[in-house]
Amino acid sequence: MQTINFILANLPIIGQRTVEHISIVGVAIAIAILTGVPIGILITQSKAAADRVLYVASIIMTIPSIALFGLLIPILSLIGQGIGYLPAVIALVLYSQLPIIRNTYTAIANVDPALREAARGMGMTSLQRLLHVEIPIALPVIISGIRNAVVLGIAIGAIATYIGAGGLGTFISRGISQTDIRQLLTGAFAVSLLAIVADYSLLALQRLLTSPGLRN
Amino acid sequence: MIRLDRVTKAFGSVVAVDSVDMEVPAGAVCVLLGPSGCGKTTTMKMINRLIAPSSGKIYIDGRDTSGIDDVQLRRSIGYVIQQIGLFPNKTVEDNIRVVPDLLGWDRKRSRARAAELLRLVNLDPAIFLHRYPKELSGGQQQRVGVARALAADPPVLLMDEPFGAIDPINREVIQDEFMKLQAELKKTVVFVSHDIDEAVKMASHIAIFREGRLIQYDKPDNILAHPLNAFVAEFVGSDRTLKRLRLIKVGDVMLSEPPRVRAEDSLDTAAALMEEHGHISIVMVGPRGRARGVVRLEAARGKKGLVAEHVDKLPGLVNVQDDLRTAVSTMFTHDVTWLACVDDDGFYKGYITQRGITHVLGAAYRDR
């Protein structure tokens, strides 16, 4: 009840924190898609390259988020951006690479070789093959990788408050430091809700973009 | 039309295709035949340069294909593969429109073409145009595969075991359909198969490959009648003479203008006719000439009465369009040595005998 009163009394600030949170995750995911999808496609050309890239992306995944933020502080301090928005976005871009690259790579590499052969035999160029055959067929799996990255990003984004990036994590960190259960619950609830809404929206988008011929 | 001039393909130190020379005339169905690993598929794929020859030239209509851009070349050659390879994300219509789209046809024209082609392969456009491949049976999918290959009306069609993945019953049907289509379209077809029966059925020319070399290249009847060596003889099978039955039509072997009687003729007339021709039975026809029954000599000789009173059922009939295989099979079924031959309307056209068949098959061996 107390928590509900707190939420109702603080709706404007919750809204503002939510916008901050979305802006960190949104920008990071956009960059991660623009880098991860092309990398995922490129590495289908070479098994050795694929193994190495996926290995590096997996290692990045294992670095605890708080440690990664810490590592970025001295590096970004060189350009005066050691804390705040930029390191938060960079960390999320790095974490998002694995699910996006891995899913893109797996989906493209698993396109039936007969389709590739048919496409080649009919006179499609490599780019046409990619655009008309491989990407449309791989799309559901690629988007499901993006969904993973978004949920992961929203969760890790909550920790970015410790490097002064704001967002919904602020309620959680203050709830802990001030032993204020209301703020803690508000933050936890808002982060979960945001993750669920984002995941379902992307699921809807995934269904929309999947050709009816590929649905089960 | 398609000419291979000392075409060779080596993968590292392995020579997959070794200096193959052959010429496929326009409108021919050339079946490349041989055991797996014999180089037949590699040879076919060199025609649309999915595999680039290591040496040698391939000419289509006199043009050296190495001088044409690979992508442009492939758009001018229809391609059908065993796995069918319809794009699952596209509708049947969009699958057929792939090459027309690549060639920049306008939408209206390519859509009309897709509907036209579906009718050509016996699929109703109203039902199938907007379906997805997963909603079709294997046989329907490969019909669409053939339609897709024909979309931009290419003069040359390459088919890589196109009916190999289809169940035997549908395979026969789709082979027959394709032959009918080919009789109309007269494409130059290069067709890879490992099935001698399919080759005998489809081919105007058969090329037998072994270990990358073209061993024998000839018309199917010549390959079956005169295999060049023990390998070819064994590959085409010890029953190769029987396989030739498929290649000959009943109409080409039957004796036409046969003697016949009518229901109202007397038995005397029937017996006289049989003795005149040295036959032991004679076909009775209806008023307009349809084969109705048979009168046997022992039943007619020395008896009074009309043909209608002593007629027996015809033991079996064969259509003049059928091949000899069907005729022989019908003879064996009914334990007879001759059959009456009729046309599509049942009119009596002639008769065919076991002796006549063996004589025709034997002619190929006597001539040499």
- The pLDDT tens digits along chain B (368 residues) read 899 999 999 999 999 999 999 999 999 999 999 998 899 999 999 999 999 999 999 999 999 999 999 999 999 999 999 999 999 999 999 999 999 999 999 999 999 999 999 999 999 999 999 999 999 999 999 999 999 999 999 999 999 999 988 898 889 999 999 999 999 999 999 999 999 999 999 999 999 999 999 999 999 999 999 999 999 999 988 888 888 998 889 988 899 888 998 988 888 888 888 888 888 889 999 899 899 999 888 888 777 888 888 888 988 899 999 999 999 999 999 999 899 999 999 899 999 999 989 888 888 787 55
How many residues make up chain B in this entry?
368
Residue A177: CB atoms within 10 Å: 9
Q: Quote the pLDDT of residue B306.
A: 87
Complex ipTM, two decimals? Answer: 0.85
Determine what percent of chain A is predicted with pLDDT higher than 70: 100
- B81 Cβ under 8 Å from any chain A Cβ: yes
CA distance A79 to A90: 14
- A136 Cβ under 8 Å from any chain B Cβ: yes
- Please state the rounded mean pLDDT for residues A177-182: 92
* Beta-strand pair B348-353/B255-256: antiparallel
Which 8-state DSSP code applies to residue A131? I
- φ and ψ at B31, to 5 degrees? -95, 120
* Beta-strand pair B291-296/B281-285: antiparallel
Tens-place pLDDT, residues A52-63: 999 999 999 999
Q: Which two tokens stand for residue B50?
A: 């999915």
Residue of A nearest to B97 (CA): A122
Helix (H/G/I), strand (E/B), else coil: B323: strand
Tens-place pLDDT, residues B189-204: 999 999 999 999 999 9
State how far residue B164 is from chain A, nearest Cα, in angstroms. 14
Which residues of chain A does B87 touch, with a Cβ-Cβ cutoff of 8 Å?
A: 115, 118-119, 132-133, 137
Helix (H/G/I), strand (E/B), else coil: A84: coil
Tens-place pLDDT, residues B203-261: 999 999 999 999 999 999 999 999 999 999 999 888 888 889 988 899 888 998 889 98
- B87 Cβ under 8 Å from any chain A Cβ: yes
- State which H helix or E strand residue B202 sits in: helix B196-202
Q: Quote the pLDDT of residue B311.
A: 87
Q: Quote the pLDDT of residue B300.
A: 80
B217-225 CB contacts, 8 Å cutoff, 24+ apart: B217/B22, B220/B247, B221/B247, B221/B248, B221/B364, B224/B200, B225/B364, B225/B365
User: B75 and A123 in contact by Cβ < 8 A?
Assistant: yes
Which residues of chain B does A133 touch, with a Cβ-Cβ cutoff of 8 Å?
A: 87, 89
What global pTM score does this model have?
0.83
User: A114 and B83 in contact by Cβ < 8 A?
Assistant: yes
CA distance A113 to A200: 32
Q: Quote the pLDDT of residue B368.
A: 57
Residue of B nearest to A120 (CA): B50
- A120 Cβ under 8 Å from any chain B Cβ: yes
Question: Which residue among A121, A125, A214 sits closest to B88, beta carbon to beta carbon?
Answer: A214
Q: Quote the pLDDT of residue B116.
A: 96
- Per DSSP, what are the bridge partners of residue B160? B81, B192
User: A211 and B89 in contact by Cβ < 8 A?
Assistant: yes
- Please state the rounded mean pLDDT for residues A144-159: 95
Residue type, A30: A
User: In the structure, what pLDDT confidence band is assigned to residue A142 with cuts at 50, 70 and 90?
Assistant: very high
CA dihedral sign of residues A13, A15, A18, A23: negative
State how far residue B196 is from chain A, nearest Cα, in angstroms. 25
- B75 Cβ under 8 Å from any chain A Cβ: yes
Best mutation target, B71, B80, B86, B89, to test chain A (most A CBs within 10 A):
B89
- φ and ψ at B12, to 5 degrees? 60, -125
Best mutation target, A122, A128, A209, A211, to test chain B (most B CBs within 10 A):
A122
CA distance B296 to B279: 9
CA distance B144 to B280: 53
